[in-house]
Structure 1
Amino acid sequence: MSEIILARPVLDPETEIARLARRYASAGGLGIQVLNTLGTGADGLLDRLPAPVRGQLDSAARVALTQALRAASGSRQVVPDQAQWLNSVVSTAMGATGGFGGLPTALAELPVTTTLLLRVIEGVAVEHGFDPSAESVRFDCVQVFSAAGPLEHDDGADLAFLSARVALTGSAMQAIIARVAPRLAIVMGQKLAAQAVPVLGAVAGAATNYAYTSYYTDVAHVHFGLRRLAVETDQPHEAMVARLKAEVLALK
């Protein structure tokens, strides 16, 4: 099955790259605002987690990604993609529930939130005309999780997630999960640490989940917007990434 499923109006490359650059540059702003509201920063956030939890983050991220892929693909048969505002509402409620009981419930909520975020990313792929059942598009959906994360101060240079490609082989999905999981472990570890804030766990969980949903929605639009632009202009994807990176850095 082709990964392209929807014809779209052809975009002006310069205008679209500028728009995507602005969206990427602003993607993490909400997460930083959340940390400021909680009176904390991303630096040292992971150190607040108990050592046993920190040691299990990589394996937890792998399990969460594997479960999310299975659940997200299956749910597409029965639950249609939702509007961004509804995704944010559901994610916020899940975060509040996860944070209410502190670290134990936040850990239990992690794979559920990962599944929701993957569905959000798949929905963005569909918006840009890609078929989320195509293997290469599924790879790209997972690859979005290797972005910096909403709780990091990103100077615009961390755009490697846009460039990384995996050969389409039988073991490719496990390979990409293995590569993405360490980054996702850091990102989700920061989320867990924020949710574990004493007394404010439910509020922090709701706020961080809202920020995460907004962030990965924006990053997915950048990722698939750039892929679509490369297809429409018949230019190498790497060239599009380079132009986007230059535009993002120029905004700084």
Structure 2
Amino acid sequence: MENSTPAIAGPLTADDLAALARAKRALERAPLAMKLAGAAGAPVERLMARLPAAAHETIAEATRRALDKCLQAALASLGVRGEAEGLLPGGSAASAKARDIWHKLAVATTGAAGGAFGLLALPAELPVTTTLMFRSICDIARSEGEDLRTIETQLQCLSVFGLGGGTRSKREQANEDAEFGYFIARGALAQAISKASSDLASKSLASHGTAALLRLMNAIAARFSVQVSEQVAAKSIPAIGAVLGAVVNTAFIDHFQQTAHGHFTIRRLERRYGTEVVETAYRAIDLSPLR
């Protein structure tokens, strides 16, 4: 069933339609909480209820610091040819396959280290884990033909942390049963990305504190912190430590890698066919037989 291609009449080629179907399966899949529950062997909601009250403030602060570190690395790489801040993997060609496995192993290692110390390790572990995940997202973007030297692409890479789930607006909640939640979430961030890109393009790249950029980072952080909370909860089972930390971190990065693959596949197809054509084809794909 994995390689089946929905029969949709339209201008997309068979190969591109198959790629779009894979992207939709990646984007409209089971939420992260279900994956983490499988890794931890317990419902994430129950584990989250056990977290101390102070944990949520620690998670929010660590999440923001982690995203700020990624932003600084992204802005430092803008306009740089070849390898920049580790985000352009070895200057490899745009068509080269993304190195998902390498990044998974690296994040599993940080998870093992953090799992041994629990919540106390979060302020140190999360920025490292998130930066590794961001590099993986950039690698995936490059493999789909994105130019990592541009402001817009770097912000699109950061936006993946806000596309993987998290807090939902009333409009998103009203559409949560529909199989195109990706476009709802993407639309919620699109204006903020556009405004931040415009501001950074017209001002010095040293102006990291523009109002538009802060609004975008706040929106991404609000969504990402929900998933970080789920990740922390899944690693909170006593006496398992490093092993569970590695397993949970692997599920964590896999979730965002799949989101990135779906997001940048769709952007590649939109560059070829236009946004309206791709979204119409996306909505027409029926995933129900695959579930």
Shift of 1:217: 1.2
Q: Percent sequence identity over matched residues?
A: 29
Tell me, in whole angstroms, the C-alpha distance in 2 between the residues paired with 1:194 and 1:201.
11
Question: Match of 2:271?
Answer: 231
2:217 maps to 1:177:
yes
Count of residues in correspondence between the two structures: 237
Cα deviation code 1:193-215 (max 9, x no counterpart):
22222111212210111112211
Question: Match of 2:72?
Answer: 70
Gaps of 5+ in 1: 1-9
Residues 119-128 or 157-166, more deviating: 157-166
Tell me if the contact between 2:36 and 2:252 (Cα under 8 Å) persists in the aligned partners. no
Tell me, in whole angstroms, the C-alpha distance in 1 between the residues paired with 2:232 and 2:216.
23
Cα deviation code 1:203-236 (max 9, x no counterpart):
2210111112211111101101101101111x12
SS of residue paired to 2:198: coil
Tell me if the contact between 2:58 and 2:123 (Cα under 8 Å) persists in the aligned partners. no
Tell me, in whole angstroms, the C-alpha distance in 2 between the residues paired with 1:59 and 1:158.
28
Gaps of 5+ in 2: 1-12, 78-82, 90-97, 167-175, 200-209
2:15 maps to 1:15:
no
Question: Match of 1:90?
Answer: 106
User: Which of 128, 145, 149 lines up with 1:112 in the alignment?
Assistant: 128
Question: Match of 1:4?
Answer: none
Tell me, in whole angstroms, the C-alpha distance in 2 between the residues paired with 1:36 and 1:205.
13
Tell me, in whole angstroms, the C-alpha distance in 2 between the residues paired with 1:72 and 1:41.
35
Matched ranges for 1:38-77 at <5 A:
38-71=40-73, 76-77=83-84
Question: Match of 1:205?
Answer: 245
Tell me, in whole angstroms, the C-alpha distance in 1 between the residues paired with 2:22 and 2:39.
29
User: Which of 181, 187, 204 lines up with 1:158 in the alignment?
Assistant: 181
Tell me if the contact between 1:88 and 1:210 (Cα under 8 Å) persists in the aligned partners. yes
2:258 maps to 1:218:
yes
Shift of 1:108: 1.9
Distance 1:182 1:248, change over 3 A: farther
Distance 1:231 1:63, change over 3 A: same
Distance 1:11 1:145, change over 3 A: farther
Distance 1:199 1:241, change over 3 A: farther
Structure exhibiting the larger radius of gyration computed from Cα positions: 2
Question: Match of 2:94?
Answer: none
Q: TM-score, normalised by structure 2?
A: 0.71
Q: TM-score, normalised by structure 1?
A: 0.81
Tell me, in whole angstroms, the C-alpha distance in 1 between the residues paired with 2:280 and 2:241.
40
The structure 1 segments of at least 4 consecutive aligned residues displaced by more than 6 Å after TM superposition are: none
Distance 1:33 1:13, change over 3 A: closer
Tell me, in whole angstroms, the C-alpha distance in 1 between the residues paired with 2:35 and 2:59.
25
2:148 maps to 1:132:
yes
Question: Match of 2:227?
Answer: 187
Distance 1:129 1:42, change over 3 A: same
Tell me, in whole angstroms, the C-alpha distance in 2 between the residues paired with 1:109 and 1:173.
25
SS of residue paired to 2:223: helix
Tell me if the contact between 1:95 and 1:206 (Cα under 8 Å) persists in the aligned partners. yes
Distance 1:13 1:208, change over 3 A: same
Measured on the aligned residues, the alpha-carbon RMSD in Å equals 2.8
Question: Match of 1:3?
Answer: none
